[in-house]
Structure 1
Amino acid sequence: MDDQELAEHVARLRRQRQDDAHVEAKAAASGAPKDLWRSVSAFANTEGGLIILGLDEASGFVPAEGFDPQRTLDVVLTGFDASPGTHAKITPIPPHELGRSEVDGAQVVTLRIDALDGTSGAKLPCFVTAQGLEAGSYKRVADANKRLTHYEVYLLHSKRRQDRTDRETVEGRTLAELSTDLVSRTLEGLRTRGRALTGIETGDIQGGLHRVNAVDADGVPTLAGYLALGAYPQQEFPHLAIDVAAHPGTEKSHDPTLRFLDRQECDGPMPQAINDAVRAVLRNLRTRRVVDGTAGTDVPEIPADVLREAITNAVLHRDYSPYVRGQQVAVDIFPDRVEVKSPGGFWGDRTKENVAEGYSTSRNESLVQLLRVVPMPDGQSTVAENQGSGVQLMVAAMRRHGLPAPDYSSTSIDHVVVKLARFGLIDPSMRAWIDGLSERDHRDRQHDVALALAKLNQQVSVADLRINLGLDSDDCREVLAELVADGLLEGMNDGPYVLVDPGMTEAVSGARWEILSILDVTTAKSIAEIAEATGKTRNALRPLLRDLVDQGLVLATAPPQSRNRTYLIPPSR
């Protein structure tokens, strides 16, 4: 890790006065702390992160007294040693980088942990060896390490294994409980497209359905066949449906007197349920009239094809294991967005960062195969194509309508969440907010899009800009770096970047950030020391320090007239 990157991390921790989802500091004055390996597990099981050993959070992230960097390095190296005859503290060993650096002239140990999810061939989850898989697996949530639930452990453990859940038979059900019409049209479609039914007699319905894993050899429906072709799959699985709800506010209401503006449970075979869910969403969206010559068309806020793709993906790729058969695919309509949430996180090597790359991995291979051929109610189309281009088509369609790309940032280990904005990315209120920020003159549309995404989604990354603007990664990094230089975003590398605390945006920008980055809560500095550290004159620093003191961001130790006046960061409140 280079010194500049470390200095930026430390400055951010000091400003926010606490660890965060990406960086954790530990005093480690007595050697590697016992909870170090929980942090390693947590970072490895989520999005990776940095651990800084030798900084005391309680004292404002200053070098810890009594810290021994060599002893700490030795302990950490031993904990990562998985050679025969040793006892590694963590299993499996995640990709990591261990080194020494300096903060305020004192040595610290840095430990960068990469996410296992993005590591080819890695086994998941990463757990503290002594605690075992179930009790010793953690995830990073804000600045804390949280133990994974049994279900989250199951999901990570099975993430890259072949999942045959959709081929399990639905005991007690028979071929007679499948829709005669859907079965007939599906088999007819299979005979006219490809060779799936080669060698199967035209009248051999059971043989045809067995060929595509809709029933087993005895004619008992599989889960895939029952969901795709069943006359009413919810008789056996009441919650394997799609719940569509329109909400009055931008979050789910806790007011029992006004919970929904509209709600529909979309049930029946999955093609019908998906079709009904799309219609339910569309009736709760506004439309605009587009005139082409003498004809006019009503166009919804979110393209119907995007809604269909998002809901279809949720049905196709959700987890159907017994853990979550009591959970529905949820489609929530808010005044500013539509959210589609499905049980089970991304499967295989899919992540929120690479979901738009254009190739497909299927958790439920048999269900996907069936829904590629089972006709929709209109009889003119099928549910899914499974060519891996669905998300790319969603991105392109949203971009054509002036909407931000589908946002997967809220996806977690146990749920996939995609947010679809109902309005153009920079609507009048967003325009007014952006225009109210400082340094407006030198920014262009690319900067505005980055700021709008950061405000809308609470963060923005290089990948977000690449998807929304079609720029290459280097250009995206340049846009984000310029906004960091303006004091509007904070972050580094490929992100995520977040807006600077709105309460501090005007008061703490540019030189003010620089002042805050060199102060701490224990060692007061004089204006002469601050001038030397920042390269600024005392006359330039005095009004900045006065503003910071007035806003409570810096504590002065003496009256303004005193020669002994020094400055430090106030203790955490």
Structure 2
Amino acid sequence: MTVPVLNVTNEDVQRTVTLEEGHFLDLKAINISPAKLSKAISAFANADGGELFIGVDEDKETGNTWRGFKVPENANGHLQIFEELFPLGGEFSYEFLRHPDPAKGLVLHVTVQKTREVKKASDGTPYIRRGAQSLPARTTESLDRLYRNKGITSFETELVNAPLSLVSNSETIISFMLAVVPVAEPLPWLEKQLLVRDSRPTVAALLLFSDEPQIPLPKRSAIKIYRYKTTDPEGARENLAFNPITIEGCLYDQIKQSVTKTAELIQEVKVLGADGLEPIQYPFETLHEIITNAVLHRDYGIADDVHVRIFDNRVEVESPGRLPAHVNERNILNERFARNGTIVRLINKFPDPPNKDVGEGLNTAFAAMKKLKLRDPVIRQTENSVVVDIRHQKLGTPEEIIMEHLAGNSEITNKQVRELTGIGSENKVKSIFYNLAKAHQIERVPGKGGGSAAWRKYTGETE
């Protein structure tokens, strides 16, 4: 393995030694064994990728110090095991960082991408990165979840001990067959599609063609819709407008009903606009595509439902399971990977399918937000799910948004700016107000101070 050597500055050295270990970063001393290092690389590859710096001594009291390899050859033991387990290429890259003081040596910098395959450490065990830890995946449950997260296996193919009549004689399969394959009988067609094996239906068969898949697949096949009357980061029981709504039925019906219901509830949310209180507007295409994506690409092996949470300033759609294979938050709009390939393929055969443009759903959602001049949805992962935040925030700088609001309204408050822009800090908004006032763009509304303070367009009357 030929590893390049890069000269770094003292600023680069300081930046490196002050890095904090976490989910995407690990610091190791040169005397750590290659076997232990392979666990960290395996963990990064099986999670979301990360970086490893070998040649940094950690000390919480005095601070970390740079103590690298004297010459590149001293790292051969590490590089040999890396080449065997994690060969140099698109997913793994290696480079030496040379300190400006040659006596301080070279730090080996390893960059790991999220891989398509499960990567094992030298002890034959795959590891998973969680926070600043590299945890072994040894139990059947943790291994199953890892292989599903990688897209190597899918819970949709699992067989279920349920009566065949649930999928071979349901109203859903009969209407589907009449519309799509009227010359075929349900059971032979289901067997041909590998949706029935050994006289048992698969998870995909029940989700697609059972009238009530929630009976054989409880707590993992419904959609729950919540309405929280708050803009707080998390909803609480006291903010619920009503008990959560549960949408059941086959996936095709679930998607249509949940999108329609979500759109209805959003129309009831009012925000202050140019003409007083106005209903929030989200593109229907955005809601449709993001909810469809959550239902079709979730991990059905996790006993949880899809959750749609409607707040005063945003909609959150949470889908069980992390992003599969090599897909991450940064490349999700450009990469394609179907965790549930059978479900994605067959639901597209339904009349007026929810996934019309297969693989383009999220791109459509983002484009629809731009048309309304709203900010892009935000995609984030939790430990066991993917959450998409669809925020009612206008594109533009905070200054532009303030002036645009004042073009149609007599005044604006700190709270309103935070709701319009998503800025969390009250002091930051105050600073923006002061800068606009200094530029003679706005001024305080006379007689309003403290908690009721407000600003209006500049008139010069208060000077």
Task: Provide the TM-score with structure 2 as the length reference.
Answer: 0.70
Cα 1:39–1:360 change in 2 (3 A) is: closer
> Do the aligned residues in 2 keep the contact of 1:98 with 1:112 (CA within 8 Å)?
yes
Where do residues 108-507 of structure 1 align in structure 2 (5 Å cutoff)?
108-118=105-115, 123-127=117-121, 129-130=122-123, 132-133=124-125, 137-139=127-129, 141=131, 144-147=132-135, 153-159=143-149, 162-163=152-153, 165-175=155-165, 180-191=170-181, 202=183, 204-216=185-197, 218=199, 220-239=200-219, 240-247=221-228, 248-253=230-235, 257-258=238-239, 263-286=244-267, 301-321=281-301, 324=302, 326-357=303-334, 360-375=336-351, 381-385=352-356, 387-408=358-379, 410-411=380-381, 414-426=384-396, 431=401
Count of residue correspondences: 393
Cα 1:169–1:37 change in 2 (3 A) is: closer
Amino acid at match of 2:135: R
> Do the aligned residues in 1 keep the contact of 2:162 with 2:216 (CA within 8 Å)?
no
Alignment correspondent of 2:14: 10
Cα 1:227–1:80 change in 2 (3 A) is: same
CA distance in 2 between counterparts of 1:372 and 1:68 reads 56
Alignment correspondent of 2:104: 107
DSSP 3-state at the match of 1:416 = strand
CA distance in 2 between counterparts of 1:176 and 1:31 reads 57
CA distance in 2 between counterparts of 1:330 and 1:163 reads 24
CA distance in 2 between counterparts of 1:22 and 1:176 reads 45
CA distance in 2 between counterparts of 1:203 and 1:56 reads 68
CA deviation after TM superposition for structure 1 residue 236, in Å: 1.1
CA distance in 2 between counterparts of 1:182 and 1:249 reads 39
Cα 1:5–1:211 change in 2 (3 A) is: farther
CA deviation after TM superposition for structure 1 residue 11, in Å: 3.3
Cα 1:140–1:163 change in 2 (3 A) is: closer
DSSP 3-state at the match of 1:234 = coil
CA deviation after TM superposition for structure 1 residue 229, in Å: 1.8
- What's the C-alpha RMSD, in Å, of the aligned pairs? 4.1
> Do the aligned residues in 1 keep the contact of 2:377 with 2:390 (CA within 8 Å)?
yes
DSSP 3-state at the match of 2:388 = strand
Amino acid at match of 1:79: H
CA deviation after TM superposition for structure 1 residue 49, in Å: 1.3
CA deviation after TM superposition for structure 1 residue 230, in Å: 1.0
CA distance in 1 between counterparts of 2:332 and 2:151 reads 19
Where do residues 478-557 of structure 1 align in structure 2 (5 Å cutoff)?
none
DSSP 3-state at the match of 1:387 = coil
DSSP 3-state at the match of 2:244 = strand
CA distance in 2 between counterparts of 1:176 and 1:284 reads 32
CA distance in 2 between counterparts of 1:79 and 1:348 reads 27
Where do residues 89-100 of structure 1 align in structure 2 (5 Å cutoff)?
91-92=85-86, 95-100=92-97
CA deviation after TM superposition for structure 1 residue 339, in Å: 2.1
Cα 1:33–1:190 change in 2 (3 A) is: closer
Amino acid at match of 1:49: E
DSSP 3-state at the match of 2:114 = helix
> Do the aligned residues in 2 keep the contact of 1:41 with 1:90 (CA within 8 Å)?
no
DSSP 3-state at the match of 1:70 = coil
Alignment correspondent of 1:70: 70
Q: Deviation string for 1:189-211 (max 9, x for gaps)?
A: 324xxxxxxxxx73623223434
CA deviation after TM superposition for structure 1 residue 370, in Å: 2.3
> Do the aligned residues in 1 keep the contact of 2:191 with 2:197 (CA within 8 Å)?
yes
Q: Deviation string for 1:105-142 (max 9, x for gaps)?
A: 75243233233425xxx632343x24x415xx14152x
Percent identity between the two aligned chains:
19
Cα 1:40–1:224 change in 2 (3 A) is: closer
Alignment correspondent of 1:557: none
CA deviation after TM superposition for structure 1 residue 256, in Å: 5.2
Amino acid at match of 2:129: K
DSSP 3-state at the match of 2:363 = helix
CA distance in 2 between counterparts of 1:365 and 1:23 reads 33
Task: Provide the TM-score with structure 1 as the length reference.
Answer: 0.58
CA deviation after TM superposition for structure 1 residue 21, in Å: 4.9
CA deviation after TM superposition for structure 1 residue 397, in Å: 0.8
Cα 1:385–1:152 change in 2 (3 A) is: farther
DSSP 3-state at the match of 1:417 = strand
Specify every segment of 5 or more residues in structure 2 that has no aligned partner in the other structure, as ranges: 271-277, 404-417, 432-463
CA distance in 1 between counterparts of 2:21 and 2:309 reads 33
Q: Deviation string for 1:373-412 (max 9, x for gaps)?
A: 234xxxxx2222352111221121111111222322x225
Specify every segment of 5 or more residues in structure 1 that has no aligned partner in the other structure, as ranges: 83-87, 192-200, 290-297, 376-380, 434-451, 459-501, 506-573
CA deviation after TM superposition for structure 1 residue 173, in Å: 1.4
CA distance in 2 between counterparts of 1:32 and 1:246 reads 53
Alignment correspondent of 1:564: none
Amino acid at match of 1:115: V
CA distance in 2 between counterparts of 1:316 and 1:166 reads 11
CA distance in 2 between counterparts of 1:101 and 1:7 reads 13
DSSP 3-state at the match of 1:311 = helix
Q: Deviation string for 1:321-354 (max 9, x for gaps)?
A: 3xx1x21112222333222222222234433222
CA deviation after TM superposition for structure 1 residue 261, in Å: 5.2
Amino acid at match of 1:226: L
DSSP 3-state at the match of 2:104 = strand
CA distance in 1 between counterparts of 2:267 and 2:194 reads 41
> Do the aligned residues in 1 keep the contact of 2:150 with 2:325 (CA within 8 Å)?
yes
Cα 1:162–1:327 change in 2 (3 A) is: same
CA deviation after TM superposition for structure 1 residue 285, in Å: 1.9
CA distance in 2 between counterparts of 1:340 and 1:414 reads 14
